[in-house]
Structure 1
Amino acid sequence: MKALLRHIVDKIRTHLMYSTHQRLDKLSMLLGRQLSLHNSHLASKATLGGGQESIPIESSEFSVYSQNGEDGIIDFLLHILDLSEYPHAFVEFGVENYTESNTRFLLKLRNFQGLVIDGSQKNIDYIKRDEVYWKHDLHAQCEFITKDNINAIIQKWLDSRGLDNVALLSIDIDGNDYYVWESLTCISPAIVIIEYNALFGATQSVNIPYKEDFSRFEAHHSGLYFGASIRALIDLGKHKGYTFVGADSSGTNLFFVKQELLKNIQPFRIYPLEEYCKRHHARQSRDKNGKLNFVSHTQRNDLIATLPLHNLQTQH
């Protein structure tokens, strides 16, 4: 009898939690739709001949599922750019369980097709149990991404959907991001979002040395040693035909747009690169026991100052 009652209580609790989650999700999406309308008006000011000042992309930020306002910036760029030549599709890797991501709002609001990749099978299994997985054309794949396998992974998905490109690419793998974007040739998205390491500063074009099995917290216990500097990624973007259009206000992600798509757009407001590094105040560093130690300001730089960096300026 007790087991039966416990089973009934668990069922009721699960139902109530699910119902509450559903209602909160609907409210979040409703708010997101209203903010998207605001971005539509903001985008109309950015057309050439509008007599308006340049607009910083941070002014369009909002988060429904993203961590740092990326939902709003992506939404704004989609309002302002002519993507008629691009399929309504995206690729995002480093998504964890996809509850917090850069493309979930895009998937639900605009019904894009998508490929999401994560190195944890547990995360991929979670995504496949999420109702978003059957309500939309979302493919979740477990892979540890390297510069050598990324093209084959994406090409296989493209072929399965009859696609030859995507509109948006989001890269956040906490390590070899630069090398993966550099190696990527099977797609040429309209928009690229990529995480940068603000601690590497604005003057150096540097990234971590490539290691196929790089792990952020194995490389250094603080987790602060990863990725590439802002200058390195901007230089790479130029080489691949992209224009840097700004970063989120938290100093986490850079946004790039294909150069030819900006011909009839009022230039975005770009600040000195040092500004994009100074705005990063996150204190996510950890001690040797894996606990947050809230190190801030120049102490963060001191922790990783002796670790090797690949200087891309001397390479060229």
Structure 2
Amino acid sequence: MIKRLVKRLSGTIAHSVAGISQLNDETEILVIGAMLSKQQWLLPSTNINDHEFKIFSQFGDDGIIQYLIKHVAIENKLFIEFGVSNYQESNTRFLMMNNAWGGFVMDGSVNNMAHLQRQNWYWKYNLTSKAVFIDADNINGLLAATGFSNIGILHIDLDGNDYFILKEVELSKLNPSIIIMEYNATFGDERAITVPYNKSFDRTAAHHSNLFYGASLAALATEANNKGYAFIGCNLAGNNSYFVRRDLLNDKVKETSLQEGYKPSQFKEGRDKNGALTLHGAAERAKAISGLEVLNIESGKMEVF
């Protein structure tokens, strides 16, 4: 199998997303992922972006996570990820399949969770799932019900109230080694701002552009720091930020500044009033939501974006 895979990937660099995407068989994809993970031991760089590769993640997060679990102390190989859609494309699926981690995932769609539970591999792994719309009132009850403690990764990706959920989460028992947070790069790299809390927040209903959601990197980093977590960087695509518990930092996983670690979003996800992609660049995306009200988490006051 290895010879066949190498032949099919000839002409691509080791972590080529294009090469991986050409493979249809899940077993082959997992073999390639395992090879890429092992190659990380040969890379001297401590820059998490140099370790990016994509297996089941949307962008290069599978590689970042593989690097981190090699160099951050993990007590229990457990993860919690929410906002996973149907889990086909997610940041913990490769971790589960390649490294035998267990976990709990949530999504607000009953159909998405039913789709996940129908997969012919669902029974093979220590994975549980729940269809539930997460808000500040129910999050801690949902997490407590898992019975998890001292977990490896907590991943929050809600496209909405992300800052408020991070602020509300009680970490004393979960005590994750690593926290992954989606940030809204359209909000820029300076202001600590978030969309106002709305228990039933929906990004499309909030604004037709689909760009008015979540929080800035500065807002998330402020709250993570308050909870004892250091910012170590973002993925190259500019949507996920990484935080590691301060007592677990080391010479392979180091704190960085927001200015050094921030990545602008590379993807053009803005939409017009008819729901069609505009394919606008960063400046145009920011202009599309200018004038909308955001909460400055440092002043506690509403202001205009």
Measured against the shorter chain, the TM-score band is 0.7 to 0.9
**1:155 alignment partner in structure 2:** 144
1:223 maps onto 2:210 in alignment: yes
Q: 1:94-173, aligned counterparts within 5 Å?
A: 94-158=83-147, 163-173=148-158
Any gaps of 5 or more consecutive residues in structure 1?
1-20, 46-53
Question: Which of the residues 44, 52, 60 maps onto 1:69?
Answer: 60
**Amino acid in the other structure paired with 1:114:** G
- How many angstroms does 1:297 deviate by? 2.5
Q: Deviations over 1:215-250 (max 9, x none)?
A: 000000000001111111111111000010100001
Question: Sequence identity of aligned pairs in percent?
Answer: 37
Please report how far the alpha carbon of residue 283 of structure 1 lies from its aligned counterpart in structure 2 after TM superposition: 0.9
Matches within 5 A, 1:159-308: 163-186=148-171, 187-262=174-249, 264-266=250-252, 268=254, 270=256, 273=259, 276-277=262-263, 279-308=264-293
Unaligned runs of 5+ in 2: 1-21
RMSD: 1.9
3-state DSSP of counterpart to 1:281: coil
Alignment partner of 2:76: what SS?
A: coil
Partner SS, residue 141 of structure 1? strand
Is the contact made by 2:73 and 2:177 (CA closer than 8 Å) also made in structure 1? no
Match of 1:12 in 2: none
> Following TM superposition, by how much is the alpha carbon of 1:23 offset from its aligned partner in structure 2, in angstroms?
5.9
- TM-superposed CA distance for 1:55, in Å, is 2.3
Using the alignment, how far apart are the partners of 2:133 and 2:62 within structure 1? Answer: 25
Q: Distance in 1 between matches of 2:228 and 2:254?
A: 17
Q: Distance in 1 between matches of 2:105 and 2:124?
A: 15
Q: Sort the Cα spacing of 1:219 and 1:274 in 2 relative to 1 into closer, same or farther, 3 A.
A: farther
Q: Which residue of structure 2 aligns with residue 27 of structure 1?
A: 28
- The whole-number CA distance in structure 1 between the counterparts of 2:129 and 2:161 is 20
Q: Is the 8 A contact 2:71 2:253 kept in 1?
A: no
Task: Give the count of matched residue pairs.
Answer: 278
Contact 2:52/2:61 (<8 A) preserved: yes
CA shift, 1:22, in A, is: 10
Amino acid at match of 2:35: Q
Is contact 2:186–2:282 with CA below 8 Å preserved after alignment?
Answer: no
Q: Partner letter of residue 185 of structure 1?
A: E
In structure 2, C-alpha distance between the alignment counterparts of 1:155 and 1:266, rounded to whole Å: 32
Give the aligned residue type for 1:254: S
Quote how far apart the aligned CAs of 1:268 are.
3.6
Give the match for residue 93 of structure 1. Answer: 82
CA positional deviation for 1:109:
0.9
Contact 1:230–1:273 (8 Å) recurs in 2: no
Question: TM-score if structure 2 supplies the norm length?
Answer: 0.86
- Structure scoring higher RCO (CA < 8 A, sep ≥ 6) equals 1
**TM-score scaled by length of structure 1:** 0.84
Task: Find the aligned partners of 1:182 and 1:285 in 2 and give their Cα distance.
Answer: 27
More helix by share: 1
Counterpart CA distance in 2 for 1:197 and 1:281 is 12
Post-superposition offset of 1:272: 5.4
CA drift at 1:265: 2.3
Q: Given residue 194 of structure 1, which amino acid in structure 2 is its aligned partner?
A: M
Amino acid in the other structure paired with 1:314: S
Q: Which runs of 4+ in 1 moved over 3 A?
A: 266-272
